[in-house]
Amino acid sequence: MSYLVLARKWRPTVFENVIGQGHVTTTLKNAITSKRIAHAYLFSGPRGVGKTTIARILAKALNCVHGPTPSPCNECQSCKEIGNNISVDVIEIDGASNTSVDNVREIRENIRYLPSHGKYRVYIIDEVHMLSNQAFNALLKTLEEPPAHAIFIFATTESHKIPATILSRCQRFDFKRISLKEIQNHLKLIAEAEGIKLTEKGIYLIAKEVDGSLRDAHSLLDQVIAFAGNNIKESDVADALGLMDRSLLFRLSEAVIDKNGKGCLKLIENVYSFGYDLKRFYQDFLEHIRDMVIVKTVEEPKDVLDLPDIEVEDLKGLANRVGLLDLHGMFALLSKGYEDISRSPSPRYTLEMTLLKMAHLENLQSIDEILARLEELKGAAGAGSQRSEVGITKNQDLSGKGIAAAHSDEKSTGLVSRPTDVEFKIQNPGSEIANAVSSQWSGFLNFIRKKKPPLASHLEFANLASLNDGVFSLRVKTGPYFSYLSENKKNIEQLCKEFFCKEMTVELTADDNFADAFPGKPREDDKIIKEAVRVLGGRVIEDRRRANV
């Protein structure tokens, strides 16, 4: 007997053995059990996912000697004839080579005859979308009102090409691509049954290549067995099918993480010399980076990725060497480069430049990390500033501590307390303001920012002149800032009352030569600005608070 290829040898003969199309098989079995059998079915979906196979199983289920039954016996004469494709009651027609009206007329003439020894006369038309419009029109009447013994089963990979008048007369079933995991499990089953030693990565390479088609997986496995025999390694699969060694992806990502531009270029030269499609390689590498992101963010990546366990562990090792933001940056660069390489007349150079950009990408920090760093710098700058000689008289609070000490406690505990009585008097306006006064002014501005942000933005163009008992004196830049604050003087006094817990009078003085009230004070935010410029890669265009100095 001649050799039977795996695709035919392992073709399912009952509904239970069909892989990945449970929604179709369950519906058909229930329809047979409940005797709700339609006269026309349309099976649509990608190649090699079981359309014709299920059509034959359905024909056997209808014509079995024990049927109609959802579980054909495969032992009776009718089942055997249908399985061997020699049944006179099940006619398979290739729509691609029988496209004319005459072919449809022949079907219409023959459909009148009763089945020879089965219960139904079944017409299976493969690639039905290839029929001409005239042929479809000739089929309409027969399809709508066929004889009671006739059933049509149409199979197609392009259902959008079928006229709506045909679709409306059929029960439609959309077949889906078979998942990578299901194909891998099926190939393992075949390898064990056939006595083939095939590595897990080799199985993955075959399953990855077939794009959800189980028939293609059978064909490729046949080809690999013919090449390597019964002991198949990953390299044998790659050589037999002309595939790229997946270790190149790991070596390339490692070179990018190590910022090794020379290593990236050498690997691309190897890929180019191998003759592998650069666009396909680019797509594989993009998917590889995506897998690294998933490994880094998902607790159980094995449940998400259809990869061998060994490869998932290798991905974890790589992902631990790089930050999540850096991986996102790499993916963004690759995504943009994928569009460029599709249009580029020199895809190799485009790929090389993209990889060099990735290799020299600066390590990224999250906004939270940057803000935390800036807060540290701000605290360090405030702690290092020199205290000025300021005369301060105030009533002691209940704890006996002064205002400066109380604010120190607030910063350490994170709690905010407001003084009951405040009296500051600046003895020498030309000297630096004391920490207590600076803390009160900063605290007051922060308080207003939460209550009235627009008012706080204008108060930033005011300087504290004095803060005596019941009097709050401000020097304000002449112009719209002074006008706005003058109009909102009552609001400022009300906010002072809320913050200082006592009635306060606000005095505003316009200053034509507005500058820092205490020019000798080192600006605490200078270091912060410099650090922000360094981290964010920006530059200072204008410091408006010093514009008129």
Encode 21-60: b = buried (16+ Cβ within 10 Å), e = exposed. beebbeebbebbeeeebebbbbbbbeebbbbbbbbbbbbb
Q: What is the mean pLDDT of residues 440-467?
A: 78
- The pairing of strands 471-477 and 462-468 is antiparallel
Residue 548's pLDDT is what? 40
Please report which confidence band the pLDDT of residue 246 belongs to, taking 50, 70 and 90 as the band edges: confident
Residue 58's pLDDT is what? 95
How far is the C-alpha of 255 from the C-alpha of 359, rounded, in Å? 8
So where are the chain's domains? 6-174, 180-241, 247-359, 386-521
Q: What is the mean pLDDT of residues 46-75?
A: 92
Q: In this model, does residue 509 exceed pLDDT 90? A: no
Q: In this model, does residue 4 exceed pLDDT 60? A: yes
How far is the C-alpha of 143 from the C-alpha of 169, rounded, in Å? 7
How far is the C-alpha of 151 from the C-alpha of 172, rounded, in Å? 14
The full DSSP string for 449-498 is HHH-HHHHHHHTTEEEEEEETTEEEEEEETTHHHHHHHHTHHHHHHHHHH
Residue 528's pLDDT is what? 59
Please report which confidence band the pLDDT of residue 534 belongs to, taking 50, 70 and 90 as the band edges: low
Q: What is the mean pLDDT of residues 356-363?
A: 78
More confident residue, 383 or 376: 376
- The pairing of strands 231-232 and 90-94 is unpaired
- Assess if CATH 1.10.8.60 describes domain 180-241: yes
Residue 412's pLDDT is what? 39
Of 292-301, 313-322, 430-439, 536-545, the one with minimum mean pLDDT is: 430-439
How far is the C-alpha of 431 from the C-alpha of 454, rounded, in Å? 30
Residue 375's pLDDT is what? 66
Q: What is the mean pLDDT of residues 406-417?
A: 40
Q: In this model, does residue 187 exceed pLDDT 90? A: yes
Residue 438's pLDDT is what? 57
Name the CATH architecture for the domain at 6-174: 3-Layer(aba) Sandwich (3.40)
Please report which confidence band the pLDDT of residue 398 belongs to, taking 50, 70 and 90 as the band edges: very low
The full DSSP string for 28-78 is HHHHHHTT---SEEEEE-STTSSHHHHHHHHHHHHHSTT-S-SS--S-SHH
How far is the C-alpha of 417 from the C-alpha of 408, rounded, in Å? 11
Q: In this model, does residue 452 exceed pLDDT 90? A: no
More confident residue, 294 or 417: 294
Residue 400's pLDDT is what? 37
More confident residue, 456 or 114: 114
Which phi and psi angles does 232 have, rounded to 5°?
-115, 125
Q: What is the mean pLDDT of residues 137-153?
A: 89
Which phi and psi angles does 91 have, rounded to 5°?
-105, 120
Q: In this model, does residue 54 exceed pLDDT 80? A: yes
Report pLDDT digits (tens) over 264-291.
999 999 888 888 888 888 888 999 999 9
The full DSSP string for 114-171 is PPSSSS-EEEEEETGGGS-HHHHHHHHHHHHS--TTEEEEEEES-GGGS-HHHHTTSE
- The pairing of strands 121-126 and 90-94 is parallel
More confident residue, 76 or 245: 76
Of 169-178, 395-404, 436-445, 451-460, the one with minimum mean pLDDT is: 395-404
Residue 519's pLDDT is what? 38
Q: What is the mean pLDDT of residues 86-112?
A: 86
Report pLDDT digits (tens) over 313-347.
888 888 888 888 888 888 888 888 877 887 888 88
Please report which confidence band the pLDDT of residue 535 belongs to, taking 50, 70 and 90 as the band edges: low
Which phi and psi angles does 49 have, rounded to 5°?
-110, 0
- Identify which of 236, 288, 287, 246 has the alpha carbon closest to the alpha carbon of residue 267: 246
Q: In this model, does residue 1 exceed pLDDT 60? A: no
Please report which confidence band the pLDDT of residue 524 belongs to, taking 50, 70 and 90 as the band edges: very low
Superfamily the domain 386-521 falls into = DnaA, N-terminal domain (3.30.300.180)
Q: In this model, does residue 428 exceed pLDDT 60? A: no
Q: What is the mean pLDDT of residues 93-97?
A: 86
Asked if the bond preceding 453 is cis, omega within 30° of 0, the reply is no
- Choices 1.20.272.10, 1.10.1200.10, 3.90.870.10, 3.40.50.300: CATH for 247-359: 1.20.272.10
How far is the C-alpha of 491 from the C-alpha of 486, rounded, in Å? 10
CB 352 within 8 Å of CB 282: no
Residue 414's pLDDT is what? 38
Please report which confidence band the pLDDT of residue 532 belongs to, taking 50, 70 and 90 as the band edges: low
How far is the C-alpha of 198 from the C-alpha of 236, rounded, in Å? 10
More confident residue, 458 or 110: 110
The full DSSP string for 269-280 is HHHHHHT--HHH
Residue 536's pLDDT is what? 62
Report pLDDT digits (tens) over 149-177.
999 999 999 989 999 999 999 999 999 99
| Structure-block tokens of residue 347 | 């895809």
More confident residue, 478 or 352: 352
How far is the C-alpha of 477 from the C-alpha of 503, rounded, in Å? 25
How far is the C-alpha of 249 from the C-alpha of 268, rounded, in Å? 10
